[in-house]
Structure 1
Amino acid sequence: MTQHETATKKTIRTWPIVVLIIILLLSSVVWYFYRHYLADNRWKPLLQAQLKELVLRASDSLYHIEYSDFDLNITSGNATLSDFKLVPDTLVYQKLVAAKKAPDNLFILSVKKLSIKNVGARKAYQEKILNINNISIDNPSLTIINKRYDFNDTVKIGKPKTPYQLVKKIFKQLRIDSISLKDISVNYINQSNPVTKQTALKHLDINISNVMIDSLSALDSTRFYYTKGVEVILHNYKIATPDSLYNAELKQIYFSTAKREIILDQVTFLPRYNRNEFYRQMGTSGDIFTLKFKKITITYIDLQRFLRDQKLYAGIMNVSNADVQIYSNNAYKGKKSIKIGHDPHQSLQRVALDMKLSRLNIAHTDIIYSETDAITEQTGVITFNNTSGAIVNVTNDARAKKKNPFMVARIKTHFMKTAPLQVNFKFNLNAKNGAFNYSGTLGKFDGRILNKLVKPLALVQVQSADVERLDFNVDANNYNSKGHLEFYYKNLNVQLLKKVNGRAGLQTQGFISKVANALIIEKDNPNKKGVFRPGPINLKREPTASFFSFLYKGLLDGLKPSVGFDKKTENKVNKIVAKVSTVVDKFNKFKVGRKQRKVERQARRQAKKDSINRIKQKQSL
């Protein structure tokens, strides 16, 4: 089978069934009106019988129609069909399956009212050219049962008929200026997988413009299935994710075949539970996402590829005015989720729909990542504000990845609302170990803004730091990260913290902090002699560490040697801290004991004084 034959067959089977029924209806109306019209209206039962016969014949007896009334105004050329139903014959369908001729989609349709305006009946009869101004379909309810068969992709089943071939014996040309379907309900039942899935849509509007069916329209590249354009508008859509942990809501979805674009307005992806209940429902630790998007647009969609191969190829996706929040709880006491293989580019590969976006643009987006530490049980926060940038070659399609296996992101943002940050990512979409690179530059800022992150997660409080620049370049994968970091700063002074059981908050380590600042922490980089300390990065990834956590911990691994706190020094410091802590603990115990002994002495003195007073009172009596 040639590619053209496959595309033609797909075209026939995906042709909107509503429009096809309308064509058959109008064909019978015109034909019988001019050849069988009688003053006593004996044409009406003949018309109805012929209409039903045409539908059976056109669908190979797969469908039959039912309706309560059909009204035709001869003068105006207007017609109305009430309580219309399109019903499939399941026995016929099973025979088609056995003969390997069944379509992938089965339709069940009901329409409350179908109105046709300004049918050009005279021209249709005299010239076999039918023109209609408008067809309006109110409150249609459509059920689509999808079951994909291999024989529809691999076996040629005769020569398919085009819509023109179905009507050419009656008309040589059929044109409809506009078709409006209002407030549609659609129930999509997918039986192609072992587990049947259903998706319901309500409040759907479809507008079809300039339908043309003749001998040449199928070859018109400016048309989409014989139309100049189809617009689909879905209002107030809401659906729960398959795991029931999130609700996805959209105020409106707009799709245009003429513009080849999709517009999503006010999109939200929200957890259905609070954090504690979310983890209980999930049964393991993991990231919790809260996503809000003012608008998402997808342009330059390859419609033919989507309908032919069920692959979404598009040019540009624009995301603007988004609010992205990601929360991770390392203090969660239950089962820990393994994050290996779940980085963004790896999650993209598991999307069920094969897709390729040439470019994803991001504008005016705020990203907040927060993490609760297992030791401190406090939450660190890192923010990226007014984020913009582009991601190119966003794909999970095998053919596209063979041509270009790298997805590249170039992002500009403001770190903690203050420091300009430029970061680049290069993801290897084919790497089994999830390899990627991230590099960038962080501009000038007051180091104290880091406290929201490092106090809860690193037990360090920055007292002062004038950061001039931070450059980094890291190669990473699912298991480790290696690279280097260059940290330029002045006037660094820190306070070391600790978590004490039974006491609220974090406690300062005053004496140890003074020792660290005086003997270990380098105040400037480069120092006064001009010696610069680089920050090598060599970090083994914890399997439970999320993507964002892995990124900042990699940078933290390079920051330590930059400030003079390398592995060798860290080991020495840990020993010193242990010794000092022992001395401090002994001193604290001594202070507590001395205080206790003082209290006891005071108690004894008071008891002796009370005893003397009692003796004096007795003597006075």
Structure 2
Amino acid sequence: MKPIWKWVIGILVLIVVALAGISWYLSRNWKPIVEEKLKELVKNSTDSLYSLTYEDLNMSIALGNLTLKNVILKADTQVYARMEDAELAPDNLYGIEIKELKVKRFGILNVLRNRELNIKSIDLTDPRIHLTNKYHAYNDTVSVEKPKKSLYESVKEVFNSVNIGGIDMQNAAFKYSKLVDGQSTDFGLDSVQIRVEDILIDEKAQTDTARLYYTKLIEAIIPGFEYKFSNGFYMAKFDMLKINTQEQTLLLTNVDYKPVLDKTTFYKKHGKNVTRADLHFDTLYMEKLDFKQLIEKQYTIARRAHIKNGYAKLYGDKRYPKQPVNQIGQAPHQKLMRVKKLIQVDTVFVKNVDVVYGEMSGKYHREGEISFNGATGTLTNVTNDTLILSQDKYMRADLRAKVMDQGNLHARFTFDMLSKTGEHSYHGTLGRMNASAFNRILDPLLNVGIRSGNIRGIRFDISGTDYRSRGDFRFDYDNLKIDLKAEPGQQRKKSSLKIASFLVNQLIINDSNPDANEKYHIGKVDHRRVPEHTFFKNLWQSLLDGIKQTAGISKEREEKWKERAEVAKETVERTKETSQQTKGFIRGLFKKKEK
């Protein structure tokens, strides 16, 4: 080997030895300096509210690595109490415990020369985060005299800038506690995964709209959640929540809001006829969601929302009393306008959702239901933002479904969001189906069955307010026959019911439209709302008004033939009774002759 290579190798060895010696020295002598700076940074950036402690700190200057074990970030309750007295306390308090925190590849020279902290990555093992929320009214208003310090303003005394390539949290646990009047409501999440990329804290980054809280990406995956509401009637759950702030998306899978009690127990505990709701959706997905507005102001602003594959089952039980409540002003669009937090979703896409309403009859003690299967369509301009509504005041819904899993229904709704009287309109069509499909709701609830009937088509166009609905209803059908059923506890014979059904079919309703005289009946809906009826019940009553008219049933005619049918039934019963008495008399005569 030539002498020059000996010198090169020797110099390199000396350099390595020197660097190792310097690294060893700095690791030992810089440790107290680093500890001091860390604690100073936490104290200054939180106005002395939080303190940082840990069991051990290991640092390798040569590699730029730092490890903290059993880290605890804790709030000082005395400082927080003083902040409350001065009306400066935040609504949220944090308690953080981390089994191990690893900082990889930080540049110590940049810290010394330029006060710039550059870190390749930070890994957190088994972090435990406890968030306690306590509402303070003064935080609803922004203080002009003393605005809140930004994160950059909190760290700029120590660093000119901070850049972190990524933060990775595995198996994180979160606990949320809400304090109201000294009472705490808690729920928790386990096995949470969080990944944060490209954190930059400097003077420009705090105003960079491409970043969320100084980051380019926050991705969180929460595998499963279940929460039982304090009223003891309902629970909420999902299988997975995934958010991505860079793509501005939020995904929920297998979402449930459902009763924890069966129907019988639910209504016994309530003691009144309230609507029992059972909701399930395979997928809830939001696109272009503004996470900053959601976190800071609880505003829901998104471009698109998707609701896929599920059901909404609503149920009532008329065996229990229903407290009459004035429903004026309680339509869905009116309720949306009263939500205190802003909601703005350009388009909501609904795909394959079954909507079912069931009811237990208070008179016949049987369950009936009506279903709208596979509802699919869109809702547009879903917002309570009056500024946006000043440009377009209508929320619209365009939906398709199968009624009783048979007839194709296409309905369009328009809601005037700024109307003080709840103005709205709805029009649509129903395709061919067998009328007997409605026996699922008519038989149990009204004790009436449809023997036959072909629905060829329905068209409706109705406008309404809180107080009245008006419009046209067209109903094309043929071969409509109904059967009256015996009421529970009554021993009315089949022949009597057949006669009563015959009278209704022949005298009260038209078996087709156009009728036997080729006259086509159009329902002129003019329905006055019962104040205690909900928006959807009022909608149904308005359509029922049109159905009756197209079937040839006016109110006067209905009452008139009801009276005649009752007289006829009474006559039949008296005739049968007389016949039985006559037969008995004759039998008696023959018996006497035999004696």
Q: TM-score, normalised by structure 2?
A: 0.86
Partner residue in 1 for 2:434: 446
Match of 1:356 in 2: 344
Counterparts of 2:353 and 2:43, CA distance in 1? 55
Q: CA deviation at 1:359?
A: 1.6
User: Which amino acid in 2 is paired with 1:77?
Assistant: G
Partner of 1:420: 408
* Aligned 1:308-387 pairs, distance under 5 A: 308-329=296-317, 331-336=318-323, 338=325, 340-341=327-328, 342-349=330-337, 351=339, 353-387=341-375
Is residue 79 of structure 1 aligned with residue 105 of structure 2?
A: no
Offset at residue 307 of structure 1 (A): 3.9
* Alpha-carbon distance in 2 for matches of 1:598, 1:134: 108
With over 3 angstroms needed to count, the CA separation of the structure-2 counterparts of 1:39 and 1:162, relative to structure 1, is closer
> CA 1:158–1:531 in structure 2 vs 1: closer, same or farther (change >3 Å)?
same
Residues 132 and 218 of structure 1: is their aligned pair in 2 closer, same or farther, counting only changes over 3 Å?
Answer: same
Evaluate the alpha carbon distance shift between residue 160 and residue 463 of structure 1 in structure 2; reply closer, same or farther with a 3 A threshold.
closer
Structure-2 residue corresponding to 1:616: none
Alignment check: 8 A CA contact 1:62 1:92 kept:
yes
Corresponding position of 1:147: 135
What is residue 185 of structure 2 aligned with on the other side? 198
Structural mapping, 1:499-510, within 5 Å? 499-502=487-490, 509-510=497-498
Identify which range, 294-303 or 90-99, moves more after superposition: 90-99
Determine if the alignment matches structure 1 residue 560 to structure 2 residue 548: yes
Q: Residues 407 and 34 (structure 1 numbering): CA distance in 2 closer, same or farther, change over 3 Å?
A: farther
Give the alignment partner of residue 93 of structure 2, picking from 85, 106, 117.
Answer: 106
Greater Cα offset, 448-457 or 290-299: 448-457
- How far residue 267 of structure 1 moved from its aligned partner, in angstroms, is 0.3
The match for 1:63 is: 50
Report which stretch shifted further, 391-400 or 208-217: 391-400
Q: Which residue of 2 aligns with 1:229?
A: 217
Residues 405-452 of structure 1 show CA distances to partners (whole Å, capped at 9, x for unaligned) of 432211111112111111112234445554432221111222222222
Aligned ranges 1:13-52 → 2 under 5 Å: 38=25, 41-52=28-39
- Establish whether residue 527 from structure 1 lines up as the match of residue 515 from structure 2: yes
| 1:483 matched residue in structure 2 | 471
Equivalent residue for 1:580? 568
- Structure 1 counterpart of 2:571, one-letter code: V
Give the superposed CA RMSD: 3.4
Residues 458 and 332 of structure 1: is their aligned pair in 2 closer, same or farther, counting only changes over 3 Å? closer
Query: Is the 8 Å Cα contact of residues 498 and 508 (structure 1) preserved in structure 2?
Result: no
1:116 equivalenced with 2:103 (yes/no): yes
Q: Does 1:93 align with 2:80?
A: yes
More off after superposition, 284-293 vs 481-490: 481-490
The count of corresponding residues between Structure 1 and Structure 2 is: 573
Tell me, in whole angstroms, the C-alpha distance in 2 between the residues paired with 1:558 and 1:250: 42
Q: Counterpart in 2 of 1:279? A: 267
User: How far 1:174 sits from its partner (Å)?
Assistant: 2.3
Partners of 1:435 and 1:505 lie apart in 2 by 50
The percentage of counterpart residues that share the same residue type is 26
Corresponding residue for residue 305 of structure 1 = 293
Residue 150 of structure 1 aligns to a residue whose secondary structure is helix
- Asked whether the 8 Å contact 1:146–1:188 carries over to 2, the reply is no
Contact persistence 1:144–1:186 (CA under 8 A): no
Partner Cα separation in structure 1 for residue 510 and residue 250 of structure 2: 55
Contact kept, 8 Å, 1:499 with 1:505, in 2: the verdict is no
1:96–1:195 Cα change, 3 Å: closer
Q: 1:407 aligns with which of 392, 395, 403?
A: 395
1:265 maps to 253
Q: Which residue of structure 2 lines up, in the alignment, with residue 14 of structure 1?
A: none
CA distance in 2 between counterparts of 1:422 and 1:207 reads 44
Instruction: Find the aligned partners of 1:507 and 1:555 in 2 and give their Cα distance.
Output: 33
Deviates more, 1:233-242 or 1:491-500: 491-500
State the alpha-carbon separation in 1 of the partners of residues 541 and 256 from structure 2: 30
Q: 1:157 Cα shift?
A: 3.8
Shift of 1:258: 0.8
Q: Deviations over 1:368-390 (max 9, x none)?
A: 22223333333332111121111
The letter for the 1-side match of 2:379 is: I
Query: Which of 119, 123, 126 is the equivalent residue of 1:136?
Result: 123
Cα distance in 2, alignment partners of residues 266 and 539 from structure 1: 41
Measure, in 1, the Cα distance between the counterparts of 2:340 and 2:589.
Answer: 78
- Matched letter for residue 77 of structure 2: T
| Amino acid corresponding to residue 250 of structure 2 in structure 1 | I
Three-state SS of the structure 2 residue aligned to 1:144 is strand
Alpha-carbon separation, structure 1, partners of 2:508 and 2:151:
82
CA contact (8 A) 1:129 1:172 kept: yes
Moved more, 357-366 or 277-286: 277-286
SS in 1 for 2:66: strand
Q: Give the partner amino acid of 1:79.
A: L
- For 1:216-255, list aligned pairs within 5 A: 216-255=204-243
SS at match of 2:512: coil
**Does the aligned pair in 1 maintain the 2:52–2:71 contact within 8 Å?**
yes
Match of 2:279 in 1: 291
Identify if the C-alpha distance between structure 1 residues 131 and 66 changes in structure 2 by more than 3 Å, giving closer, same or farther: same
In 1, the alpha carbon distance for the partners of 2:41 and 2:423 equals: 60
Q: Distance in 2 between matches of 1:375 and 1:241?
A: 33
Secondary structure, aligned partner of 1:509 = helix
Q: 2:186 & 2:287 partners in 1: Cα distance?
A: 25
Bigger Cα displacement from structure 2, 77-86 vs 391-400: 391-400
Is the contact made by 1:498 and 1:509 (CA closer than 8 Å) also made in structure 2? yes
Give the whole-Å Cα distance in 1 for the aligned partners of 2:378 and 2:114.
Answer: 56
Instruction: Please tell me whether the aligned partners of residues 495 and 508 of structure 1 are also in contact (alpha carbons under 8 angstroms).
Output: no
Which moved further from structure 2: 549-558 or 274-283?
Answer: 549-558
User: Given residue 450 of structure 2, which amino acid in structure 1 is its aligned partner?
Assistant: V
1:171-229 superposed Cα distances (whole Å, 9 cap, x missing partner): 443221111223333333445x6686634231233211111123332233221121111
After superposition, the C-alpha distances for 1:80-119 in whole angstroms (9 at most, x for unaligned) are 2122111222222233334443333322222222222222
CA shift in 2, pair 1:197/1:255, >3 Å: farther
CA spacing shift, 1:568–1:162, aligned 2, 3 Å: closer
Structure 2 residue corresponding to 1:54, chosen from 37, 41, 46 = 41
Q: Which whole-Å CA distance do the structure 1 matches of 2:87 and 2:447 have between them?
A: 68
Compared CA separation, residues 388 and 307, structure 1 to 2 (3 A): same
- Name the SS for the 2:35 alignment partner: helix
Amino acid at match of 2:560: K
CA distance in 2, matches of 1:40, 1:178: 24
Supply the distance in 2 between the matched residues of 1:328 and 1:496 (Cα, whole angstroms).
Answer: 24
Counterpart contact for 2:96–2:127, Cα < 8 Å: no
Amino acid of the residue matched to residue 338 of structure 1?
V
